[in-house]
Structure 1
């Protein structure tokens, strides 16, 4: 190794470098529609193992996985074109000669649509080869197919993934209420270790609600038609937004803090989430208040 000779003219009177640029600290704009960092968008498809990028959508929809690269808009059917504007994905073209494509339209683990173009078919074959190489080298294992029949015996924990109702919608929680993590980034550029559930904040209520919205509560004699859920609709609107954004109470009022991970709420579907349906209130709920709707 050779020592680097630094002349005295390169330093100021206090010993600091003259021509060194100061570090830039990027912050999320207050009017930004999304706080998700670019590093938090990158992931892999759980069906084929190829790279995908998650983008938030408008109208409160769940994030959508897009193919990492743009494609010529002329080679993509109009109903499969997406464009990204200020970090938000929109299901349409923006008039430019390039567009983004949802990964499901290219995923080799899903059936191809008959309206796909030759460019998309070639890209699908390329992704299929990549998926095969990942499986042969042991870097990717496809997830097993889900069982279509409901389980005969409920062996899951009572609150493994509870159903939470907020903003007049029902979501399936990613885990127990006390272990839902905050997705905000700390000043040390790490993920916040605090959970969303705060004992000092206003609590929710465990209630029994009709499993289907079109059922009348007075005409439900069977327990299988009731659903135990953690209701947050009685809380202030700002508190419900905090839960939906999956942030702790400390980062709920920090607009400059970015999201280092995606929120993991899933819109509740009685058909696909039947294994998480509970027909009775938990024995030791987080809130002492219980009710029936």
Structure 2
């Protein structure tokens, strides 16, 4: 008597044999917080395209393109790889790699050593154009509504330097636009601002540009800093945790993303150093319009 083999979808006891599905890391939808320390999805403030935030080995954060690219299309100096949730600025020896979003961002100049990435840059530029046409994206350089009177210009830095708890940080957006990172009951990010209408405000001041020991001196002597040192200790803690006044009074509310603060380094962030206070307004020179008419 010859036994017939059981079907491939059944085991010897006639139970269904199904291969276990590979499941990626997910967050419990019923959890209080949906905060992940790596691979957080966000949108670029300059072009509106999706990016992923990762932490580097030196605790700095970097924005990477959400998808992997073949290594033969990416220059060696532009390759990144992620290992154990940490991003490293090099290749890992495989045929695929990650790329920093700054290399592909259509709002920034194209790097001369990456000509094979021009096609992907054009695709991202088309996505930015669609978002602009649909009214779903506004560049961060756009002036805020309710600003100064017509004919006046406020020198407001797009990424101000903020001092709180005796540490200087580089913000990702203007002080008035820093958004709360708390998750609401509808499981979306809170739309309130950290600098609420009734919140205590800091003060713009000029502070010396200090570099680390052993580094060359910077050409600028002073820089504009939004100082929160005069605020109470609990208020500075609220700013560092990037919470609005309402959610700061609710400690059980979870965070949806990490705070956008980046430790300020005067050498790496020298382009964000401003030598005059943004509270001063300047009017355009009326003589410039007269001279322009004479050339027409």
Partner residue, 1:3: none
Partner residue, 1:72: 70
Normalised TM-score (structure 1): 0.52
Q: Is the 8 A contact 2:34 2:254 kept in 1?
A: no
Q: State how far apart, in whole Å, the 2-side matches of 1:127 and 1:193 are.
A: 26
Local SS of the residue matching 2:43: strand
Query: For the structure 1 residues 79 and 173, does the alpha-carbon distance in structure 2 shift closer, same or farther, using more than 3 Å as the test?
Result: closer
Deviations 1:206-263 (A, max 9, x none): 584434237xxxxxxxxx9574632439976x97565234124745985872325873
Partner residue, 1:33: 37
Local SS of the residue matching 2:239: helix
| 2:239 is the alignment partner of 1:243 | yes
TM-superposed deviation, 1:204: 8.3
Partner residue, 1:289: none
Question: Where does the alignment leave 5 or more consecutive residues of structure 1 unmatched?
Answer: 1-22, 147-152, 215-223, 281-293
Q: State how far apart, in whole Å, the 2-side matches of 1:243 and 1:275 are.
A: 24
Local SS of the residue matching 1:57: strand
TM-superposed deviation, 1:66: 2.6
TM-superposed deviation, 1:88: 5.1
Aligned residue pair count: 229
Q: Is the 8 A contact 2:194 2:244 kept in 1?
A: yes
Q: State how far apart, in whole Å, the 2-side matches of 1:45 and 1:226 are.
A: 24
Q: Is the 8 A contact 1:42 1:54 kept in 2?
A: yes
Normalised TM-score (structure 2): 0.51
Partner residue, 2:90: 92
Q: Is the 8 A contact 2:80 2:98 kept in 1?
A: yes
Q: State how far apart, in whole Å, the 2-side matches of 1:88 and 1:210 are.
A: 34
| 2:55 is the alignment partner of 1:57 | yes
Question: Where does the alignment leave 5 or more consecutive residues of structure 2 unmatched?
Answer: 1-27, 143-150, 212-220, 281-296
Query: For the structure 1 residues 134 and 245, does the alpha-carbon distance in structure 2 shift closer, same or farther, using more than 3 Å as the test?
Result: same
Query: Root-mean-square deviation (CA), in Å?
Result: 5.3
Q: Is the 8 A contact 1:186 1:192 kept in 2?
A: yes
